[in-house]
Chain A
Amino acid sequence: MSASWLLAALYLTYVVAAAAGFIGRAIGASAQVFVEAVHLIAVTLGLALALAIGGHVLVDGNIFLNGGWFMADPLGCVFAGLVALVGFLAGLYSIGYVRHDVASGRVSRARVGTYYGFYHLFLLTMTLAATSNNIILMWVSIEGTTLSSAFLVGFYQDRPALEAAWKYVIICTVGVGFGLYGTVLVFSNATAAFADPASAILWTEIVKHAAQLDKSLVPIAFAFVLVGFGTKGGLFPMHVWLPDAHSQAPSPASALLSGALTADALLIVIRYIVIANGSIGPAIPQTLLTIFGILSIGVAAPVIFVERDIKRLLAYCTVENMGIIALALGLGGPLGITAALLHALNHGLAKTLMFCGAGNILIKYGTRDLDKVKGLMRLAPASGAVLIAGSLALGGAPPFACFVSEFTTVVAGVEAGYWWLMAIAVLLLAVVLSGFGRMIGGSLLGAAPAGMKSGDLGPLILVPLGLTLALVLLMGVYVPKPVRQVVAQATESVLHLPQAASDAGPGTRSALLWPDVLFPHPRAGRAASAPDGDKTAPRSGG
């Protein structure tokens, strides 16, 4: 039996849950428990299906649906899995958080359904973006993520939330408009160049025939794609929407925006890197990504040190981490690509932990101002411990997950000969770590404000955080074998470069080596995961 049903079931799960949320909104306050139950089932089932899809892809190869328009390949599985995992963890946390918002009067019971409706619509569009093989649908899905999440950003409907939502929608729709132009240029180019124009809409087909694309048009298209989807990915200087949107959304929605969406947008950039590499070679894409990457880290690091609004601080940390991913992609080679993919996963988990942890601060202190938040460890020891661990994780300290991928990025840079660039990057990462150290010392440790009642938050809030922390720690000390395998296969599919060997520069020379320094080679005995090796080849066209 074809495994396509797994992909269809994943989409359907989120569709049903979104519909249940909006139906719950129509019913009103009495539907809260129904909506929460459907939400809980959906995020759990979504994670189970994403894991099953990943397992199937590892063992039996890519899954295709609807004539190849939708595809689960190792690269897509990394990001669809990340979306499902962050969706599950932030989804669990959402129940306690939204109940608190209702209890405090910030949100009416009737609007709970709206939150969960858009939450699942957002998960659906992100999953579609990760699993689209049709390049126009990729764009439509990313645009869909903006429209579905904008209502989460503006959920509280007060002045700051509306302001943030407006900036988010206008900047991202414009940014993604650039992405559309790049997409159209590539599609048009492929239509004109390919013997079978009907196949020109499929990413797998474009990759196969990338060498036939117009070499004067591909750099223009790639620049549009990088600016367009890089806007959604939060890369400097297109990141301006991010601090506002992340700080105003409900904390679990901020976790989704930061932990899943930004990485999901960079996945589209990665897909176009593969096309550009096959057409014009890696020099232009790698140079652009390296510049965007180091600038993003450079701009965000000092702000992280001085910012006093915890959610804005975390938002700038997202810019920094997307910069690390872009830098790793720019360095290229197996180490660089592996580091980028691992960092997408690690950052997603760590940021889920911290945004939800920031939610605990908001519940406890009623403010995001770190100058007013003091002595959390004394007032709420479990929340405080989680936030300290999360801060260290995001700061890139061992033994947490981000250390592994940041270290790998630096090794990739050194191996590629970019000593000076890595020295700058390490210096900036040290600034970031010290910024988190300042937060730990100033707000999490020390004496609590007089008169504040001590006591931690309930299990509905703390259990999801504990689970997330365990995963952040696990990814730091032992990357599970299936994760290693899927990341390794995804790396190989990114390195499916017909011209890589001939165009090898400092960054791509290492592309011919496997990063044994990290993991043993996982693909012994398995057919290539690249499109040519697919067990179920897509039909061309729609």
Chain B
Amino acid sequence: MTGPTLVNTLATLLVVAALFVVLARKPAHAALLYSLQSLILVGAFVAIAYLFDVAPLYHWAATSFVTKTVLVPAILYFAFRRTEASGLPPPLLTPAATVALAAVVVVVATIAVRKVQLPLAADFKPVMVVSLSMIFLGLACIITERDILKQIFGYCLMENGSHLALALLGHDAPELVEIGIGSDAIFAVIALTFFATKIQGVVKSFDDRALMTLKD
């Protein structure tokens, strides 16, 4: 398998793993699947680092392993491990409809990326498609899920999509930048988890339909 093929294959696995995160009903399962998806992302970073001979990207892979594969899933897992799927509201879309939506997202992303002329992206159009797809898949997760915990995972998927694009196209960025983006994700997840837990304490539900008291 050539270098670009390996990276493109890992990227394809990323979007499949993202779909499983969206489809998982129990928050603890979603956290584990998100950890797996982040591990694939780390693998993609290592592959890109090897292919382009970019030493800082190995450091990115290491920090991403700590933040995305371990810390963020751990925060979500331990915060919501006792939450059962049966106690959560069902999503707006059925699993079949979610898969169909993901397919549409990938097609639209492919069309959007087709005209991009960047030399770095020439052999990696699938990676660009996947990164864009993950952004919109994450957004779709946030919009179609009534369970606010799953909305947190939607944000995490969006963030991984941006990170993949940065690793492929901007791996010359100073390491501090990568640390900034990685640590920001942790703070965002902590803040979201904090408010979700508080809401559960006050509203006794993770259903976003219960959060309609302020509607005009």
Contact = CB atoms under 8 A, between A and B. Distances in A.
Interface of A: 134, 136-137, 140, 143-144, 146-147, 150-151, 154, 157-160, 162-167, 169-170, 173-174, 177-178, 180-181, 184-185, 187-189, 191-192, 197-198, 200-201, 214, 216-217, 220, 243-244, 247-248, 303, 307, 312, 541-542
B142 A188 contact: no
A163 B112 CA distance: 36
Given A174-B158, A214-B118, A166 B199 contact: yes
B173 interface: yes
B48 interface: no
Contacts of A154: 195, 198
Interface string B172-216: 111011001100100110011001101100110000000101101
Contacts of B158: 174, 177
A244 B176 contact: no
B112 A220 contact: yes
Contacts of B45: none
A389 to B, nearest CB: 27
Contacts of A174: 138-139, 142, 154-155, 158
B203 A159 contact: yes
B177 A136 contact: yes
Q: How many residues of B sit at the interface, in one of the four size bands?
A: 35 or more
Contacts of B174: 201, 541-542
B51 interface: no
Majority secondary structure, B binding face? helix
Given A177-B138, A184-B170, A214-B117, A140 B165 contact: no
A184 B173 CA distance: 10
B117 A216 contact: yes
A170 B151 contact: yes
Interface string B110-145: 001001111110000000000110010011001000
A140 B184 CA distance: 7
Contacts of A164: 214
B12 interface: no
Contact of B191 (A147, A201, A307): A147
A243 to B, nearest CB: 7
A177 B192 CA distance: 14
A189 B169 CA distance: 7
Contact of B155 (A173, A192, A197, A247): A173
A351 to B, nearest CB: 20
Contact of B166 (A134, A170, A188): A188
B148 interface: yes
A185 B165 contact: yes
B216 A303 contact: yes
Contacts of A146: 188
19 contacts: A136-B173, A140-B184, A160-B214, A162-B199, A162-B202, A164-B214, A166-B211, A169-B191, A170-B151, A170-B155, A177-B135, A177-B162, A188-B165, A188-B166, A188-B170, A197-B172, A220-B112, A243-B216, A247-B214
B214 A189 contact: no
A134 B132 CA distance: 23
A165 B191 CA distance: 10
A169 B195 contact: yes
